[in-house]
Every structure is written in structure tokens, then in C-alpha cells.
Chain A
Amino acid sequence: MTDDKIIECFWRREERAIRESDTKYGRYCLAIADNILYNREDSEECVNDTWLRAWHAIPPARPAKLKLYFAKITRNLALSRYAARTARKRGGGEVALILDELSEVLREPDEVESEYMAKELAAAVNSFVHTLPERECNVFVRRYFYSEEIPEIAKRYGISARNVTVMLSRTRGKLKQYLEKEGFV
């Protein structure tokens, strides 16, 4: 079923919208959640929550790119779940590594306090990725949006893992400079 038809099903409140979404994008969303949560059970719950969240959001929403719309919902839900889990105990997996990597970008403990600041930060990050060369940007997005492992990224773009690591390191440096310029650091 095409994305347009799935969206129409959501609008008509037909339950098969969820089945079709799961058939078409279930594995994709599961991979995103699992990269963050590193737990199959939690990830599957997260994907189910994604369909539920979409059910409540469409209508009125009419996403232009359904796949990415689901990806963002899944990612947000997985991060919330991750945060809740780490509140109880230190989480493992790729996200722990990613958070360690990002610690070099924002140093002060209370830099990002308010929701307003978080929104501003999101806008700045979005602007920043637009300044990057295509390959650098792709690698950065695969790592920090999709939370993919470095060897996986290397394989995707046909470059070495070391190359990916160096590229990410340089891009984080650029991000730090960018955020400094924007007044976040």
C-alpha cells in the first residue's frame, strides 16, 4: 500500500492503517528503537506505541514523508524510554557511547535548562547539518539520528570504520564551534 493510502486510512479511522504501517515500516522502526534501547522487547513496545501515537496525531496531521514521520516518533519514544530506564540504572548499548561522544560538545551542567532552550538547540542543530558536506552530513545523521553503529555506517557508505570515526570526530568539533557561535556553549 502506498503512503498516501495509508494516510487516507488513518484519516478514515480504519484500523488497517496500523496493520499496513506495521507491515511496511515495522522493521524499519524496530531497528531505530533497537539501536537506542538495545532491548528487543522494549523496542517492540516502542514500535507499537509509534502506531498509537500516529493514530492520535493523524488526523489532523498529514505527513509529507510517512516513513520519516514514523522514524521521528519512534526515536522520540525510544529516547523517552531510554531516559526513564537510565533514571533507574545506567543503560548500555550504542546510546551510552553516543552520549559519551556528545559530552565533549556541551560541557556545562546547566546549559540546557528550559524547554525553550531545547527547542532553540534543535533548530541550531538542524541549521548546522545543512552546512555540512553531503557525505559528512550523511554519516553524522546515521550516527546521531539513527544511532547506527560505526561499522554499519562504514558499510553503508563503503568507507572504513576508522574513516567514519575521524569524520564524526571532526563534525562534532564543528558542531561545538557552531553552538559556541550560537551562544549555547
Chain B
Amino acid sequence: MKNLVLYESFGSIDDEILERSEKKMKNTVTRRLTRWGALAACACLAVVTAFSALEFFVPDSRYDTENLTGQPSDVAASDVTTPDDIYVARNDAPGYDTPGQDGESVNNAPGTPDAMPVTDTPGTPDTMPVTDTPGTPDATTVIGTPSTPDVEPVINESAPNVESVPDNGSVADDHVSVESTKKEGSLRDNRETLTLQEGLETETLGAYLLAEAPRGFQLESLKRTPEGESLFSVWTKSGAYDEIDWKVSLYSEADANRVTAAADTRNYDLSLYPIPLCDSVPEELRQIVDHPIFSIDELTQDVVNRRAYYVNDSGDTAGARMTFGVLYGEVLVEVTTKGVSPEWLYEQLSSLESDTP
């Protein structure tokens, strides 16, 4: 009968709670897919429009590595961006979720609004556009057409002002073509793959890399941008969805609007904002709440704890998830973690201060 008494006691639950439960909640996955699906569709449209525009201006340059004048090009084949390059770049972009790698969106990081995860089928890709972190190739703009035999843009800055007359009689604007090719060229993954040792030995930035992850984690990739201004490392745990993304870069003015004082808790304290964050975080605070940056002088265990949020989903990793950056003078360390404790993360970030000059 004790169970019956307990069961009866549920009869005293407040009306407001009962009333709230009457409302059918739309599946967060559906909501999220709808939202991001719309964004993806817009991105696709933009890409198609861009390709169409290129096709209109330079119809003779299709599948041709010659420049716009029709003269043989001195551009190496490797400098030509092909659709395949774009596809590869997308897949290599940091944070890009490859099918089977993770059943959950990259945007599960608190950085991303609406971090409610709910796929029940591990391995099912919840493919979402990737958060556009500084220094990250804009993967959202290339959704799309790996197999589309569209224009292969030519990078030939040595002859930027040469005009060509395409078949349709219109005058091609070479400036447009070169600008377009520059943009698409940036999508290639020019980053150099490093070993952990090489990464740690990188001047200035290497000292801020994660040298050792908790037991079970392995370094999946470590890459350095050509100019050496950023290092990207990804640690994953085999057989789990745990992941540590650890990015080290030089601080730039573009990051300034994300820097917050620890006292301004509304800029970063996730406990103040119920999930989905897109509904609870004010628009003007969204960027800073998504990816706040703290000075190492102000970083405390309490600050890290306030960045942690927990998602209980069957089939996925339990435990804290965190996203934020820490500024060490001119060096910015940005972390996104799933499956490690706030205490461990704080210890790592604090130790960087004492380990580095």
C-alpha cells in the first residue's frame, strides 16, 4: 500500500504543472531540423546562384584550366579549386559532423542555441551546419554539390584585368571571377596535419595545446593553418561520443565582443537560460552566451561550472558539456568538450597559465 500512498500523493501536484504538461511539446529535433534545414536550403540557394552567375559570365572556362583569355594557364592543377576540393574541405572543416562519427550535432555545444539533443539512434548523423568559429572555414556555405560539374574557377591573379568575350557576346567581368575564385579557394583545407609533438613544439601556440587527455581519449587530428596562427586539435574516445575540441589561436579584435568579465554572469552562466537556449537567451546576448571568452586571471572553477550543462539522452554521453574560450595575453584557447568534468577542464586550463611563459 505504500506505493499506492505515494501514487496518491501525486494528486496534489500544482495546477500550473499539470496545465503545462497538457501542452504537446514539439520535438526539439524536429524544431531544430526545421530551423537548420531552412538555413541549409538558403545556403544551397546561394551557392547555386553563385555558380550560375559564374557560368553566365565565363561560360568558356568550364572544365578548363586555361585562364579567361583562353591563353594556356600557368596555374598549377593543384591551385584549381574543384568541386571535389570543396567537398573535402567541408568534411575536414573542424566541427563538421561526419555520419557515424557522432549521433549528435556539433551544435550541442552550449554555444549553439537549442542544444537539445535527442537522437535515439547512435550513429545517425544529426547533420547541422557547423558553428562558424573564427578561423574556421565557412562550411555552411558549401553545402551541397560535390558532384555538380560546375565552373572550376581559375586562380590567376597575375592577369586580373583581362577581359574576355564569351559566346553570348556579353563582356565578362574578370574582377568578379577572380574574387569568386579567391573565396572558393579559401574553402580548401590548406591546413597542415601535425603530430602531437610537432603541435606542442609550434612556436607561441604550441604551449597552449592540450598535451594529454583523460584516459580513453585519443588524438584524432591536429592541424595548423598555413600562416601558423591557429592550431586545431580534436580528441575523441573510442566507442563513445565523448570529444574534446581544443583550438589555440592568436587573439584578434574580432574576438573582442565575446570577452566577458566573470562578474557579468548573464553573459555566460548557462544555468540562467533554460534549454533551448534560442528561446531563453536574449538576441543581443546570443553570441557572447554561445562563445564567451574569459581572461585567465578571472577563470575559476565556479566560472567553468556555470558553463557546464547536462543532457540526459539515451545512447549518448552523459555528463557535462562545455564551450568557452580563455585568453592568455595574446593567445586564445577555445574548448568544446563532451564527456569530461568541469573540474578536469578547469585544471587543464589553469595549468596552462603556469606552464607557459
Q: Which B residues are in CB contact (< 8 Å) with A157?
A: 24-25, 27
A: interface residue count bin: 35 or more
Contact A121-B312, Cβ < 8 Å, known A135-B25, A157-B24, A159-B118:
no
Q: Which chain A residue lies CB-closest to B310?
A: A133
Q: For the complex, what is the distance from the CA of A79 to the CA of B4, rounded to whole Å? A: 8
Q: Which A residues are in CB contact (< 8 Å) with B254?
A: none
Q: For the complex, what is the distance from the CA of A102 to the CA of B3, rounded to whole Å? A: 6
Segment of A4-12, A43-51, A64-72 engaged in the interface with chain B: A64-72
B120 interface residue per 8 A CB criterion? yes
Contact A106-B2, Cβ < 8 Å, known A129-B17, A142-B21, A166-B312:
yes
Binary interface encoding of chain B residues 1-37 relative to chain A, with 1 for a CB under 8 A from any of its CBs, else 0 = 1111111111111110111110011110110000000
Q: How many A-B residue pairs have CB under 8 A?
A: 118
Taking a contact as CB atoms closer than 8 A, the residue among B8, B17, B19 that contacts A79 in the complex is: B8
Q: Which B residues are in CB contact (< 8 Å) with A125?
A: 6, 9-10, 12-13
- Taking a contact as CB atoms under 8 Å apart, the answer to whether A122 and B27 are in contact is no
- Taking a contact as CB atoms under 8 Å apart, the answer to whether B30 and A158 are in contact is yes
B91 interface residue per 8 A CB criterion? no
Q: Which chain B residue lies CB-closest to A158?
A: B27
- Taking a contact as CB atoms under 8 Å apart, the answer to whether B18 and A145 are in contact is yes
Q: Which chain A residue lies CB-closest to B314?
A: A166
Taking a contact as CB atoms closer than 8 A, the residue among A123, A144, A167 that contacts B312 in the complex is: A167
- Taking a contact as CB atoms under 8 Å apart, the answer to whether A76 and B27 are in contact is no
Q: For the complex, what is the distance from the CA of A116 to the CA of B275, rounded to whole Å? A: 38
Q: For the complex, what is the distance from the CA of A103 to the CA of B3, rounded to whole Å? A: 6
- Taking a contact as CB atoms under 8 Å apart, the answer to whether B2 and A68 are in contact is no
Taking a contact as CB atoms closer than 8 A, the residue among A95, A138, A141 that contacts B25 in the complex is: A138
- Taking a contact as CB atoms under 8 Å apart, the answer to whether A162 and B120 are in contact is yes
Q: Which chain B residue lies CB-closest to A153?
A: B21
- Taking a contact as CB atoms under 8 Å apart, the answer to whether A144 and B10 are in contact is yes
Q: Which B residues are in CB contact (< 8 Å) with A170?
A: 312
A130 interface residue per 8 A CB criterion? yes
Q: For the complex, what is the distance from the CA of A133 to the CA of B312, rounded to whole Å? A: 11
Q: Which B residues are in CB contact (< 8 Å) with A126?
A: 12-14
- Taking a contact as CB atoms under 8 Å apart, the answer to whether B12 and A123 are in contact is yes
- Taking a contact as CB atoms under 8 Å apart, the answer to whether B120 and A145 are in contact is no
- Taking a contact as CB atoms under 8 Å apart, the answer to whether B11 and A141 are in contact is no
B100 interface residue per 8 A CB criterion? no
A61 interface residue per 8 A CB criterion? no
Q: Which A residues are in CB contact (< 8 Å) with B6?
A: 102, 105-106, 112, 121, 125
Taking a contact as CB atoms closer than 8 A, the residue among B5, B21, B274, B275 that contacts A112 in the complex is: B5
Q: For the complex, what is the distance from the CA of A142 to the CA of B326, rounded to whole Å? A: 43
- Taking a contact as CB atoms under 8 Å apart, the answer to whether B25 and A118 are in contact is no
Binary interface encoding of chain A residues 155-185 relative to chain B, with 1 for a CB under 8 A from any of its CBs, else 0 = 0111110110011001000000000000000
Q: Which B residues are in CB contact (< 8 Å) with A95?
A: 7
A14 interface residue per 8 A CB criterion? no
- Taking a contact as CB atoms under 8 Å apart, the answer to whether A79 and B2 are in contact is no
Q: Which chain B residue lies CB-closest to A164?
A: B314
Give the contacts of A127-152 with B (CB-CB under 8 A).
Answer: 129-130, 133-138, 141-142, 144-146
Mind listing 10 A-B residue pairs with CB under 8 Å?
A79-B4, A118-B8, A121-B9, A125-B10, A129-B14, A133-B274, A144-B7, A157-B27, A163-B118, A170-B312
Q: Top 10 A-B pairs ranked by shortest CB distance?
A: A158-B27, A122-B12, A122-B9, A138-B21, A99-B3, A141-B21, A102-B3, A112-B5, A166-B314, A144-B10
Given A79-B4, A133-B274, A157-B27, 7 more A-B residue pairs with CB atoms under 8 Å apart are: A65-B15, A122-B11, A123-B12, A125-B10, A138-B21, A141-B18, A156-B24
